[in-house]
Structure 1
Amino acid sequence: MKVLTRQLISVWTLVLLLPLGETLSTQAQQPDTSVRRSVFLPVDSSAARSEGGEITVADSLPAVPKLSEEEIRKLYGAKQYGRAAAAYERLLEETAEPDASLLYNLGCCYYKSGEVASSILMFERAHRLAPDDRDIRANLEMARLKTIDKITDNESIAAKLWRQVCYALSLKMLVVLGILSFLLLLGNVLLFLLGGNRTLRRGGFYAAWVGLFLAILFNLAAYNRKADFQDDSYCIMMAAQANVKSSPDEDGTTLFELHEGTRVKITGEAIGDWYPIELADGKEGWLPAAVLTRINAPVSQVDYCS
């Protein structure tokens, strides 16, 4: 029985260590190329003006030819931010599944052109695809500083800590660790049942509980990441200004004003052309669908909430 127990422990150790070692080795040898930095890092708020004055979208072309990324970089280098944005928009329309880099670069062009809401929308979409990218997070925060509405996030400390846990590792690593933790659970259950002495059985018992805890933790974190990715309830306020009403009607009481670039959450079904919304600080009300654009939405389609 003791020999059988030692063999089970040896086999179980190999089962655990080999997949994990291969995964870590692969990730160490292959750098993350999902986000390509091809234009301008980071967005410099002091560069929003050129030598001739403030840059606006007036320099965009009526008819935009298809340009390569190198040609778009030259436009950007010449401080023709509106033209560069229009060229990126065409690339975006022709791309079925845009990557975070394209959305990030377009957001930078919008930012330099003074289009705060559009830049935040693109940075939010890029962040959704690459939540671990520090440059995207930094530029998103920089763009938010340009908004008029300064909204305090009332999320609880526990919720913030849980979010940090969920995004501490990549989704792929969370899935791998979840599988390994489940295998750890099964292996220690076998050790508890087949252990040759009381010490081994006791160790297997407690280790099985650890495996169960880790399996639940990693799988819940992976599920939360997937749910965040699929969540389409968050929108960006695109209109320069809109009144949040107490009811889904223009005649409703105005509760407060919102301005472009503010992030809101749709909390229910639309009534007519109005959506119930909630801000990060807990304020609620109704906004017309025409002033909201979903963060998680097909970029090739009309993004207005409808």
Structure 2
Amino acid sequence: MGERLDPTRAPASREFDLPGVRGGMGPTAPRTQVDADFLLATLDWIESDTSAPRTVEVAAERVGMSPFHFHRRFAELMGETFGAYVRRTRLAHAASLICRSSTSIIEASLRSGYASQAAFTRAFARQFAMAPNRLRARAQAEAPKPGRLHVDLVEQAAPVRQGALPLIGMRFHGPMSQIPFHWQRFAEALQAAGLPLEAMTAVGILYDDPGFTAPGQIRYDCTVVDTHTTFPPLRAPLRRLSTREATFVRLNVDGPYHLIPEAVFGVCALWLPRNRRALGEAPAYEMYRAPPWSANGRFQVSLLVPCTP
């Protein structure tokens, strides 16, 4: 991929397509739109700290359900059990840390909630059919080479500190190609709830690396900055949440949505190693400079990719 890429053309996949990378699927993929209050509260709790213990008993107590009923409903809606979901998402995060940056394997295990590297290695091998060091070596050998497009995208990238922002959002699951359609559905939900679209600032939240997550399981939040603090309590599928305060690599992306994953790839392949940084713990944020629900195929985004300070 050393040639100049056409930014109007859909890019080649950034996935490594390694054996086991797409493993761990439950009996069904989760629903495209998450519309149960107990499930939204649980997902936010799981994602608030990727290294903290998360048990089905505590999860059920937090939402006022019995463990048996909670376990059954979670599996029904998410296509996998609570424990499998927590394990899969954390191991996919660890794989991204290991393969997309210089994060050590022991650090990736700790940041994924494993106190023992041996336990982490066993769980990782079950998920990806190979040990972490083997996956890293294979990923490095088979990773696509950055092209002119990626050099151009990260040319003005710079580290920034972003504070927490209160948000109103909606959770979706599905391939990244569906994200422009998610924004249309989110705008309709805002209007149905009586929240005006005028002058709202949109923020997209991308939690998963598509190289290590099945397309139907990629988690994405469509949100707007919450300036309606006196609005009555929201009901599913809408909820209140916030961004994480963290350090990010910031760069502007203007054009078709597929340029956003290209920009993330450019940050991981070029900016992080050049600046001796690793991926951070927060999700990636898309700070929209123009409403994405009226983008007509071209998006104006300030992209924030998490990195270590």
For the aligned pair, the TM-score class normalised by the smaller chain equals under 0.3
| Structure richer in strand, relative to its length | 2
| Structure richer in helix, relative to its length | 1
TM-score, normalised by the number of residues in structure 2:
0.21
Of structures 1 and 2, the one scoring higher in RCO (CA 8 A, sep 6+) is 2
